[in-house]
C-alpha cells in the first residue's frame, strides 16, 4: 500500500514554480501559520507575503510567497500567488537592494498610497531574504 502524500502545486501567472508529492505543507495565512498533513479536511486561506515550506522525505524546501490563496482538498494543495521563488533560487543581493530602495521610498512617502506601496515592497524583500536564509 502506498503511503499518503499531498500533491502540491505552486502556481504564478507565469509558471508552475513547484509541483511534487510531499509529506506536509506549512504556510503563512493572513490569520496565522497553518500546517497541512495528508487527509486533512478541505481548507482554504488567503496567504500573507511570507514563506511556505514543504517537507518531503525529511527534506525541507522553503519558498517565498507573494500573497495569494491556498486551497486544499482531497490531498491536492494549490498555492496561487503573484510570484514565488524557491529559497535557493533567490538573488539575495537583489532582495537587499529592493529592501533598501523601498525603505528610502517609505521615508520620503507623501501619501497613504506611497506608504502602502513601499511597505508591500519591503514585505516582498523580507519574505525573499527569509526564504533564502532557510535553504
Ligand atoms: P525587484 O524590485 O527586485 O524587481 P520586486 O519585489 O518588485 O523586486 P516582483 O514584482 O515581486 O519583484 O517580481 C518580479 C519578478 O522577479 C518575479 O518573477 C519574481 O519571481 C522575480 N524576483 C523578484 N525578486 C527576486 C529575487 N530577489 N530573486 C529572484 N527572483 C526575484
Centre of ligand 1 from the C-alpha of residue 116, in Å:
18
User: H helices then E strands: how many in the chain?
Assistant: 2, 8
How confident is the model over 35-85, as pLDDT tens digits? Answer: 999 999 999 999 999 999 999 999 999 999 999 999 999 999 999 999 999
Cα 85 to middle of ligand 1, angstroms: 9
3-state DSSP helix/strand/coil % of the chain, to nearest 5 = 30, 45, 25
Set out the domains of the chain in order of their start, with CATH numbers.
Answer: 6-87 (2.60.15.10), 91-134 (1.20.5.440)
User: What pLDDT band is residue 1 in, cutting at 50, 70 and 90?
Assistant: very low
Helix (H) or strand (E) holding 116: helix 112-133
Q: How far apart are CA 60 and CA 76, in angstroms?
A: 19
Residue 85 Cα: closest atom of ligand 1: 20
The predicted model scores a pTM of 0.95
Taking a C-beta distance cutoff of 8 angstroms, is the pair 30, 99 a contact?
A: no
Cβ(131) to ligand 1 under 6 A?
no
Ligand 1, atom 10, lies closest to the CA of 83
Amino acid at each position: 500500500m502506498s503511503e499518503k502524500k499531498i500533491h502540491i502545486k505552486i502556481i504564478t501567472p507565469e509558471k508552475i514554480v513547484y509541483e511534487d508529492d510531499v509529506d506536509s505543507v506549512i504556510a503563512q495565512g493572513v490569520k496565522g501559520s497553518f500546517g497541512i498533513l495528508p487527509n486533512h479536511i478541505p481548507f482554504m486561506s488567503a496567504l500573507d507575503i511570507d514563506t511556505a515550506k514543504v517537507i518531503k522525505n525529511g527534506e525541507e524546501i522553503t519558498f517565498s510567497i507573494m500573497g495569494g490563496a491556498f486551497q486544499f482538498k482531497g490531498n491536492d494543495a494549490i498555492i496561487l500567488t503573484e510570484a514565488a521563488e524557491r529559497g535557493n533560487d533567490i538573488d539575495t543581493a537583489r532582495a537587499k537592494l529592493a529592501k533598501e530602495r523601498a525603505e528610502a521610498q517609505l521615508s520620503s512617502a507623501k501619501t497613504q498610497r506611497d506608504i502602502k506601496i513601499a511597505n508591500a515592497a519591503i514585505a516582498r524583500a523580507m519574505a525573499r531574504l527569509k526564504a533564502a536564509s532557510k535553504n
